[in-house]
Structure 1
Amino acid sequence: MKYYNFLFIILLGITLINCGDTKNVENSIFTFDNSSFKPQFLSDDALSLSILNPSNKEIDSIIYFVNDKKVGAKNGNIKLNFALKEQKLGYQYLKAIVYFEGKNSEATERVELVSNVVPKLLKYKIINTFPHDTASFTEGFEFHNDTLCESTGQYGKSYFRKYDYKTGKIFKQINLDAKYFGEGITFVNGKLFLLTYKEKTGFVYDAKTLKLEKTFTYDKDIEGWGMTNDGTYIYQTDGTEKIWKMDPKNQKMIEYINVYSGSSKIKSINELELINGKIYTNVWQKDAIAVVNPLSGAVEGILDMSALKKLVKNANADVLNGIAYNPKTKTIFVTGKNWDKMFEITVSE
């Protein structure tokens, strides 16, 4: 327990969820029987779904849904057991359509599914230290063909550039219009995608020439933060506990996961990098990197990076932000906003 609490101290960005925070939407005829519901469920648990019938209506059948997906049907008011092992973490929205006396009525409820994974405290080793432009308010950080690309934020100062990380020599830089606050970037299918903060606008560039090909509007009412990809889909953050999955072909959101460390959500998930099937992410304003399972949202590992900040000499250095994996060297590069250094590291348990 002490070890687990120590990991929570590292990730102080975690917001605890109050026990008993279930929401019962009132229904004039039927409600879910939540007497067996726990404040929080684990993936090994199962839900016992049944309906309270205070008016003693004659129930013909009930169809049950979890997150708008039909999970079963029962004649009369017979319980349905539903295993949670395949569900993503976060709130599970329950619905029952009750058929009775030639009519039907809905009952709704929600329960929270949290992680049963105890995150491992990971180690890192500094391999090299390289210069970093102190004027760069780092937002996106990613390698493309062994060349580092970085995007920056702040209105009137946002740009992205390709450069030699060993010397700092800039190969090409594209400045954004002053009305945009630049955010995360990622390369996929020969394109460079770039997000903006509150403008709900994204850009698509040719990965080689950096020529602008199109702009797009977010199809969800969210902010733009970090980005990464798995070669097929883009993953992006919005400043909450969510990591969205987006189809780069049409820029439409497909789904999202909620990031949990144990029983707590982690808010302010920021810059992302997919490394060996896991998502490495900065937590905004925290000197830590969380390693997240992209299927469930569970934090599986934590890197305490607080020692790196002590090696940064720039007095105006801001928060840790920037994770770039170099597949050629199989090492990870990390930096921060306005840092004077970037660090090449390896990670182990």
Structure 2
Amino acid sequence: MFKYKALSFIGLTIISISCGGDKNDEKNIFSIDTSAMMQAYNPSQSVDLGIKNEKEKIIDSVIYYINDVNIGKSVKNEKINFPLENQKLGYTRIKALIYSEGKNSETETNFIIYAKDAPELLDYKIVNTFNHDGNSYTQGYEFYEGNLIEGSGQYGKSSLRKTDYKTGNVLEKIDIDKQYFGEGITVLKDKIYQLTWNENKAFVYDAKTFKLEKTIPYFRKDLVGWGLTNDGTNLYMSDGSEKIYIINPETFEMIDYINVYTNANKIDSINEMEWIDGKIWANKYEKDMIVKIDPKTGAVENIINLSELKTKVTKTLQQGEVLNGIAYNPQTKTILVTGKNWDKSFEISVEK
């Protein structure tokens, strides 16, 4: 079983910025009152917001922001109780804009929002063991019309392939130009989407013919590609952090994002992903586990410890040849998992 150690909580940071009037006179007059504020919350809780006014200035009003979104106005420094149920998990910045005696100033503090409940451990059993190409650095893994679509990585070795998962035989393969490092793949509406790592591009193929139809740049130039899945309408893309971006498949513009957290930790290095029954199942890079994520909140609901699988791989695994690959088979209701350059794949069924 995996045990999660609680993170050291981020201390409450207070910053005051004066706007208008003499900055030296206004600086540090006000701060957000943290006397009753906790360092960490969960979405079932609320936070009381008020301004510490040690010099007893006359406060006309205060406008509060959470992560730069206006959440309300207080008249004459009346406290605001703000529920956190609709806020994103993770680092949360509170800013207050104070209007007082014809002048205004800003002050900030922060806290973390964790998931409300601890993740439950799921058990599994191995249903079948199959051959897998030990030279495929698996980055994306998904069933389509009974066959396995697999994206592999490494510069000069990246490819997109269709495989008979029971035999491991490659039925069709496209080699990616050596300037690209292939990453996650997913199939949406008969289109295969394949990410690249540092090249800021996604490839779109016809899923039936494997013909490359177009190349789309990411919505941000510094964004790197890791894992990819879809909910039948939109794409979900990871970048190696705790973030999962919800992406428009036509334009690759960001619609929204979630942060992946347990009740005690953030879960970063989100890698290969699969959409199963309304949830995101994801590998965490270099960890022998799968986490099941609520795509609406980012909360980790379940964890599967798959550490025994690498002991069943025949070849000697090198550094970096880690568990990576989750493909749900709708015909058998089972999950096929593998790893980077593993010579075996494992069909598993999951249970509590």
Check whether TM > 0.5.
yes
TM-score using structure 2 length? 0.91
Gaps of 5+ in 1: 1-5
Report Cα offsets for 1:140-179 as digits up to 9, x if no partner.
0011122210011110000010121122232221111111
How many percent of aligned residue pairs carry the same amino acid?
49
Determine the structure 1 residue equivalent to 2:20.
Answer: none
Separation of aligned partners in 2, 1:138 and 1:85: 37
TM-score using structure 1 length? 0.92
Determine the structure 1 residue equivalent to 2:238.
Answer: 237
Determine the structure 2 residue equivalent to 1:153.
Answer: 153
What is the aligned residue count?
339
Determine the structure 2 residue equivalent to 1:258.
Answer: 259
Separation of aligned partners in 2, 1:337 and 1:123: 23
Are 1:7 and 1:119, in contact at CA under 8 Å, matched by a contact in 2? no
Match of 1:337 among 332, 337, 340: 340
Determine the structure 2 residue equivalent to 1:316.
Answer: 317
Q: CA deviation at 1:95?
A: 1.9
Separation of aligned partners in 2, 1:243 and 1:23: 27
Are 2:216 and 2:251, in contact at CA under 8 Å, matched by a contact in 1? no
Report Cα offsets for 1:101-148 as digits up to 9, x if no partner.
334332222211012212111111111111100000100001112221
Separation of aligned partners in 1, 2:244 and 2:10: 25
Separation of aligned partners in 1, 2:144 and 2:57: 64
Determine the structure 2 residue equivalent to 1:119.
Answer: 119
Amino acid at match of 1:341: K
Separation of aligned partners in 2, 1:95 and 1:309: 48
Determine the structure 1 residue equivalent to 2:21.
Answer: none
Matches within 5 A, 1:17-56: 17-27=7-17, 28=27, 29-56=29-56
Report Cα offsets for 1:239-268 as digits up to 9, x if no partner.
111111111121011222221122111121
Separation of aligned partners in 2, 1:116 and 1:49: 21
Q: CA deviation at 1:301?
A: 0.8
Report Cα offsets for 1:29-65 as digits up to 9, x if no partner.
4321112221211222211111123443322112222
Are 2:50 and 2:80, in contact at CA under 8 Å, matched by a contact in 1? yes
Are 1:20 and 1:38, in contact at CA under 8 Å, matched by a contact in 2? no
Gaps of 5+ in 2: 18-26
Separation of aligned partners in 1, 2:54 and 2:202: 52
Are 2:324 and 2:338, in contact at CA under 8 Å, matched by a contact in 1? yes
Determine the structure 2 residue equivalent to 1:3.
Answer: none
Separation of aligned partners in 2, 1:180 and 1:22: 43
Report Cα offsets for 1:181-228 as digits up to 9, x if no partner.
110001113321111111222111222222222212222322210111
> Secondary structure at 2:216's aligned position in 1?
strand
Separation of aligned partners in 1, 2:238 and 2:12: 26
Amino acid at match of 1:8: K
| Larger mean Cα displacement after TM superposition, 226-235 or 104-113 | 104-113
Q: CA RMSD in A?
A: 1.7
Q: Structure 1's 123 and 227: CA in aligned 2 closer, same or farther, altered over 3 A? A: same
Separation of aligned partners in 2, 1:161 and 1:147: 10
Q: CA deviation at 1:289?
A: 0.7
Separation of aligned partners in 2, 1:97 and 1:26: 10
| Larger mean Cα displacement after TM superposition, 306-315 or 49-58 | 49-58
> Secondary structure at 2:308's aligned position in 1?
helix
